Structure 1
Amino acid sequence: MNVREAIVDIASTEDLLERALKLSGLVTTLFADVGFSLVVVGGSAVEFYTEGGYMSGDIDFCRREIAHIPLRLAQEVMAKLGATGGPRSWRVCGLFVDLLGLLENESASPMRTVETPYGIVKLAPRELVLVERVLAAYYPQPSAEALKTAKQMMACSLEDPLMNWMEVERLADLSDFKVLRELRLLKTEVENG
């Protein structure tokens, strides 16, 4: 793969969702080439699951390996993309790319994958992302903006035949989240339109 040609293509992609997906694929591939598996998490995962219904403005990655990514290595990988900034947050093709650390994944559900022209992107499990959005909608303080995002995530999750609702409820009931009641109310509200 010619990285320079990929960057030209990504930078010229007008649709922000498509640009973010392509860039995620390229970043994932380059880090895999040096031995690190990345997963898209948080608002960036919401962005991809909702197909742009929610736009975060950045791409958040966590690593799957216990070993940390040496900062110099991360800088060298991102330099191949012409990125500026660092050592954990860069600007590339008009988007921010953030390396957040080790993946925290309480879900038993599988990662979802998205194939891009520049590599396969792994997304945090949809079930986990939904429960995290419900938590953010109500705690530490209720947030209208976060609630809107949680509703978008709920709506697209209701349309996914692979969604494991037993796992969603299990996660929501964990002491890490404690939002089972809120999740059920939100699900009912979104189902009833």
Structure 2
Amino acid sequence: MGLCMEILIVDCAYIEATPPELRADLVETAAFGSDDARQPGLPEGWTWPEAGNRPWYARYEFRNSLTSYKSHFWAGERWGKLRKFVRPGLRAALDEFSAPLFWGEYNWEFADPPFTPTVPGRENRWCSETMLWLLPEDVTALHRFWTRAESGLPSLREPFEQHVAQPTGQVKDFASFAALVTEWGEVVSEAAGRGWGIIGLKC
């Protein structure tokens, strides 16, 4: 898992109003800068564009991951083992909420117990290097799952430490798992509040 990912929340209507041949460059410039290179020293958390017009996107830098997808992969690994020790209602909410970022396109079909994601995989319409593509209606659905899951997150500490904590990998303990899940909740909540979508681009 050597992939890196830049996360954007975006005003999809703004991009759709741009000529089709310009959309990919618009999104890639928002994610990586005008020279298509990662800007050094970007702060963790939110970066909002300095623009005279109304903002149409923001970048989110996951804390302590340096854009690496490894943390998300390991969170998915931990959740895949933890979920059978979680009460069904909370498990269902976290399954659905975490599926787009932590599980990837194919892992849920092997889950025990199995589940079917509510938010479908989307065909990329703007950029060839898209890892994550969520339309505003997808984000709204994920936000509903997050509001159900957030209060139950602390209850996962005991089963996590008992059954899935590991000395290796990017997500070794409950604190790092909970932090990453909560950050994803922050991204989803911000996008949902604005009626925006979410894009994750390979870097």
TM above 0.5, one fold? Answer: no
**Higher RCO structure (Cα 8 Å, ≥6 apart):** 2
What TM-score, normalized by structure 2, do the two folds share? 0.26
